[in-house]
Amino acid sequence: MTSLAAFVLSLFLSLIFVKCTTWSALKIGLVDDPKKRKHPAAMHTKPIPRAGGLPIFLAFLITSLIFVQFSQKFFGIILGGLVLILVGILDDKYDLKSLYKFGGQMLAAVIVVASGIGISFITNPFQLFENNLPGVIRLDEWKIVFDFFGTHSIVILADLFALFWIVWVINMVNFSAGVDGQLGGIALVTLLVIFVASLRFGADPTQSIVTTLAVIGSGATLGFLIFNVYPAKIFPGDSGSYFLGFLIAVLAILAGARVGTAILVMAVPLIDGVFTVVRRIAEGKSPFTGDRKHLHHRLLELGFNPREVSLFYWLLCAILGAVALVLPADQKLFAGVFIAIIVLGGILWINTSLQGTDRK
């Protein structure tokens, strides 16, 4: 009942804050105007309010303060999320340079890691212990201990891995902000999968926090998504994509280092993001340079409409989420590799088929 109440309150607050943000954004000019902001990936023809991350964050914050016991880790999540919301809104308004945006992402990740959230181990599917249980690769063995108003330690590999994971997911989720409703749907499905996965360990206090935060995030995301489906009345903007990517990455760590589960659920947008970065670098461009060669753009060129593209991503994420919940940890790596090969093959085939279109 607690989870249901948290979900309903978060959804209700998100709906209210989205309406307020939409009205306010139009008043202060916090909009994506295709006539003023030329971007090759833009598909809308009239100004649309941005800063969709603000109502999501406010709904998440207020509901969390009611249902989650305050702790150092919880404070780190809220403070890191606030940093990303501020950076995202500034970018939505002023189009910040990539270096500033990356700096904001790193700061948010450092705050979370400093609060005690880290990845102490990862599953080793190539090593089996007794009863065919998968082995683990420890990341918490190299430590730097120092005294500064108390004893503190830096867990080198664990902290570096967590920093990389958080920043990577933030950017990959940002890349998936293609057609209306695409990003919100992907985030909603992923948060729900993390919620279901954490229910298996409800007796663990850490997992109960994950369960509550995941369901609160789901409610806030659904409230936004209702106004973001095609034709969108508000865009997530960088504030929305940054915060949702950040929340997914952090909850995956807290949920017993379920990084593999998150990767499997978001396999398609993550692989498309990696392929996009590699392709742009190979073309001699910045990996942050916008273009119309993402998978969602290619699907539109093949004849899909925006609603169908969003539904395509939602269904794939839901199917892969179900697979992630069923498969044991040692099999997720092999499933991920198999799916990666299929997705990469499909992307390459589509790009090859549309090469003639690119030259026109």
pLDDT at 240: 95
Q: What is the pLDDT of residue 138?
A: 57
- CA 263 vs. chain centroid, Å, equals 10
Angle in degrees, CA 211, 213, 217, rounded to 5: 115
Instruction: Region of 116 please: left (phi>0), alpha (psi -120 to 50) or beta.
Output: left
Reply yes or no on whether the pLDDT at 189 is more than 70. Answer: yes
pLDDT band of 81, cuts 50, 70, 90: very high
The predicted model gives 36-55 an average pLDDT of 73
**Which pLDDT score is estimated for 226?**
96
Residue 29 within a domain = yes
More confident residue, 320 or 340: 320
The answer, yes or no, to whether residue 202 has pLDDT greater than 60, is: no
Q: Which residue has the higher pLDDT, 120 or 321?
A: 321
Residue 305 forms part of a structural domain: no
Which residue range(s) make up the domain with 128?
2-255
pLDDT of residue 162: 87
- Nearest one of 64, 54, 53 to 7, comparing CA atoms: 64
pLDDT, residue 149, reads 41
Residue 332 lies in a domain: no
349 within some domain:
no
Highest mean pLDDT: which range of 95-104, 152-161, 214-223: 214-223
Which of residues 7 and 350 earns the better pLDDT score? 7
222 is a domain residue: yes
pLDDT mean across residues, the chain: 82
pLDDT over 90 at 347, yes or no: no
The answer to whether residue 274 scores a pLDDT higher than 90 is: no
Contact call for residues 198 and 175 (beta carbons, < 8 A): no
Tell me what pLDDT residue 39 has.
52
Total count of domains within the chain: 1
Task: Kindly tell me if the per-residue pLDDT of 228 is higher than 60.
Answer: yes
For 28-40, the pLDDT digits (tens) are 888 887 766 655 4
Q: Give domain status of residue 141, yes or no.
A: yes
- Give Cβ neighbours of residue 53 (< 8 Å, ≥ 6 apart): 84, 85, 88, 89, 236, 237, 238, 239, 240, 241, 242, 243, 244
- Choose between 330 and 101: higher pLDDT: 101
Q: Give the model's pLDDT for residue 129.
A: 47
Q: What is the pTM of this model?
A: 0.87
Supply the pLDDT for residue 193. 92
Mean pLDDT value of segment 310-332:
83
In the prediction, which pLDDT does 6 show? 96
- Of the pLDDT bands very low, low, confident and very high (cuts 50, 70, 90), residue 84 is very high
Tell me: pLDDT of 75 over 80. yes
Between helix 237-254 and helix 98-114 the angle, nearest 10°, is: 30
Q: What is the mean pLDDT of residues 4-22?
A: 96
pLDDT in tens, 128-158: 444 444 555 555 555 555 444 444 455 667 7
Q: Give a yes or no: residue 343 inside a domain.
A: no
Is residue 211 one of the residues assigned to a domain? yes
Peptide bond into 34 cis (omega under 30): no
181's torsion region: left (phi>0), alpha (psi -120 to 50) or beta?
A: left
Q: How confident is the model at residue 267 (pLDDT cuts 50, 70, 90)?
A: confident
Cα separation, 126 vs 331, in Å, equals: 10
pLDDT in tens, 108-129: 999 999 888 877 655 555 554 4
